[in-house]
């Protein structure tokens, strides 16, 4: 459909990127959100990590993530926001943690993905701010962005309204972890607690690791800011940062990064990640006429935003759908579309 009138519900990174892509293609787009950019996108670390984040059984995420990572330089360039390259350093604190790194590296090797195993000395020279670790691996292609800066730049480019317009051709539902009826059951919230610090000795690049079995990551932003994340727990209660969650993150990070002790603790944030039953997003027809879903991006919404935007815009224009992401795959299931 050319020149479509489109309302996008939800001004998180997904809805905003979709709206921007549709507007760029000449469609008439408004975004509706009572609390723009304050959902999961406000908490997100902003890692563009298709490989470091992939686990067994999530190979589709690797494929989608690599396709979306390739779109990020263009998007960041257009928005004038920083894209930090330099890769991800995976590290293991002790021998058991190093086994996790090696398992991850073996999985990536099997998929033909570049990964360079590093011994203790290799990790130390790649990342002098780290303390003594058992070893690690470098994933050179990965990057990161500041999702708050990205959303702010996108908010400057889209039209925001208080309520949906009558007579739209298409409504895109991009409301993150809280989908309206009848799609509510397709997404559940997975709580993530995350801390923001300021340090005089930040890591140079994203560091992901395990310390005593506890997963943890550090994402430097520049000018000493470091994001430390993140817990992951299914939860019904309102999202708050718990003392226990913060303690686990700080203890794991401190084992890897001694400069943590001197760092200023600037902020703690908790939000729900929008998770689906099969771990893949919902991008495409909802089952209701004129309603398209762009939701359920769980741990990868920042990474997958530009690919989602392209898929939604292609769908609006041509009707094309990526079958792997088609929300109608849940038709007839307990989560069910209809």
Ligand X SMILES: Cc1cc2nc3c(=O)[nH]c(=O)nc-3n(C[C@H](O)[C@H](O)[C@H](O)COP(=O)(O)OP(=O)(O)OC[C@H]3O[C@@H](n4cnc5c(N)ncnc54)[C@H](O)[C@@H]3O)c2cc1C
Closest CA to 51 of 108, 102, 101, 90: 108
Helix H or strand E segment including 151: helix 147-155
220 scored as a contact of ligand X (CB under 6 A): no
> First and final CA of the chain: distance in angstroms?
25
Within 8 A by CB and 6+ apart from 310, the residues are 21, 71
299 scored as a contact of ligand X (CB under 6 A): yes
Q: Residue 83: what are its φ and ψ, rounded to 5°?
A: -115, 115
- Are 15 and 31 spatial neighbours (Cβ–Cβ below 8 Å)? yes
290: left (phi over 0), alpha (psi -120 to 50) or beta: left
308 scored as a contact of ligand X (CB under 6 A): no
Q: In whole angstroms, how close is the CB of 6 to ligand X at the nearest point?
A: 14
Q: In whole angstroms, how close is the CB of 285 to ligand X at the nearest point?
A: 17
306 scored as a contact of ligand X (CB under 6 A): no
> Residue 221 in 3-state DSSP?
strand
Q: In whole angstroms, how close is the CB of 76 to ligand X at the nearest point?
A: 14
Interface with ligand X (CB under 6 A), residue from 30, 133, 170, 194 = 194
Interface with ligand X (CB under 6 A), residue from 271, 280, 310, 312 = 271
- Determine the interface stretch with ligand X among 42-50, 71-79, 127-135, 242-250 (rule: CB under 6 A): 42-50
Interface with ligand X (CB under 6 A), residue from 12, 92, 284, 327 = 12
284 scored as a contact of ligand X (CB under 6 A): no
- Are 144 and 46 spatial neighbours (Cβ–Cβ below 8 Å)? yes
Interface with ligand X (CB under 6 A), residue from 295, 307, 311, 337 = 295
In the complex, which residues of this chain contact ligand X (CB under 6 A)?
9-15, 32-33, 35-41, 43-47, 174-178, 180, 192, 194, 229-230, 271, 273-274, 295, 297-303
């Amino acid at each position: 459909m050319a020149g479509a009138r489109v309302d996008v519900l939800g001004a998180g990174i997904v809805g905003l990127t979709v709206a921007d892509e549709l507007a760029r293609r000449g469609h008439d787009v408004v975004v509706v959100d009572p609390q723009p950019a304050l959902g999961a996108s406000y908490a997100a670390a902003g890692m563009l990590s298709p490989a470091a984040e992939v686990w067994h059984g999530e190979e589709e995420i690797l494929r989608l993530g690599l396709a979306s990572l390739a779109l990020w330089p263009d998007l960041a360039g257009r928005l004038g926001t920083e894209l930090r390259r330099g890769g991800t350093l995976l590290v293991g604190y002790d021998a058991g943690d190093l086994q996790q790194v090696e398992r991850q590296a073996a999985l990536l090797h099997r998929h033909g993905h570049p990964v360079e195993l590093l011994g203790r000395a290799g990790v130390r020279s790649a990342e002098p701010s780290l303390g003594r670790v058992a070893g690690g691996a470098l994933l050179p292609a990965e990057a990161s962005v500041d999702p708050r800066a990205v959303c702010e730049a996108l908010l400057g480019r889209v039209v925001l309204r208080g309520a949906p317009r009558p007579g739209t051709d298409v409504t895109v539902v991009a409301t993150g972890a809280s989908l309206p009826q009848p799609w509510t059951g397709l997404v559940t919230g997975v709580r993530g607690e995350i801390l923001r610090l300021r340090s005089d000795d930040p890591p140079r690049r994203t560091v992901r690791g395990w310390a005593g079995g506890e997963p943890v990551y550090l994402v430097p932003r520049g000018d000493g800011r470091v994001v430390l994340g993140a817990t992951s727990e299914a939860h019904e209660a309102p999202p708050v940062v718990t003392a226990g969650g913060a303690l686990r993150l700080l203890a794991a990070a401190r084992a890897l990064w001694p400069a943590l002790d001197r760092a200023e603790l600037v902020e703690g944030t908790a939000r729900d990640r929008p998770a689906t039953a099969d771990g893949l997003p919902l991008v495409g027809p909802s089952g209701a006429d004129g309603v398209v879903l762009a939701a359920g991006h769980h741990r990868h919404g920042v990474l997958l935003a530009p690919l989602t935007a392209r898929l939604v815009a292609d769908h609006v224009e041509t009707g094309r759908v990526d079958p792997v992401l088609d929300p109608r795959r849940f038709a007839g299931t307990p989560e069910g579309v209809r």
